[in-house]
Amino acid sequence: MTDLTTRPTAIGLGLKPEHVPEILGAPAALDFFEVHAENYLVAGGPNLRHLEAVRSRFALSIHGVGLSIGGPGPLDQDHLTRIADLVRRFEPQWFSEHLAWSSHGGAFFNDLLPIPYDTASLERVCSHLHQAQEQIRRPILLENPSTYVGFAASTLDEGDFLAEVVRRTGCGLLLDVNNAYISGVNHGRDPWALISALPADAIAEIHLAGFAEDRDGAGAPLLIDTHGAAVAEAVWALYRRTISHLGPRPTLIERDQCIPPLEALVAEAARARSIMRDSIVRETA
What is the per-residue pLDDT across 185-232, written as a single tens digit (0 to 9) for each?
999 999 999 999 999 999 999 999 999 999 888 888 899 999 999 999
d(CA 247, CA 111): 32
The 10s digit of each residue's pLDDT in 229-248 is: 999 999 999 999 999 999 99
Per-residue model confidence (pLDDT) at position 32: 96
CB 75 within 8 A of CB 128: yes
Greatest Cα pair distance, the chain, in angstroms, is: 57
User: What's the confidence (pLDDT) of residue 106?
Assistant: 64
Task: Put residue 168 in one of left, alpha, beta given phi > 0 → left and psi -120 to 50 → alpha.
Answer: alpha
User: Which DSSP symbol is given to 129?
Assistant: H
Candidates 124, 145, 115; CA nearest to 73 is: 124
Single pTM value for the model: 0.94
Domains of the chain, earliest start first? 4-284 (3.20.20.150)
Q: Specify the pLDDT at position 193.
A: 95
Q: What is the pLDDT along the chain (285 residues), one digit of tens a residue?
A: 467 877 889 999 999 999 999 999 877 789 999 999 999 998 888 889 999 999 999 999 999 988 999 988 899 999 999 999 999 999 999 999 999 977 666 665 566 778 899 999 999 999 999 999 999 999 999 999 999 888 888 899 999 999 999 999 999 999 999 999 999 999 999 999 999 999 999 999 999 999 999 988 888 889 999 999 999 999 999 999 999 999 999 999 999 999 999 999 999 999 999 999 999 888 776
- For the four alpha carbons of 261, 267, 268 and 272, in that order, the dihedral sign comes to positive
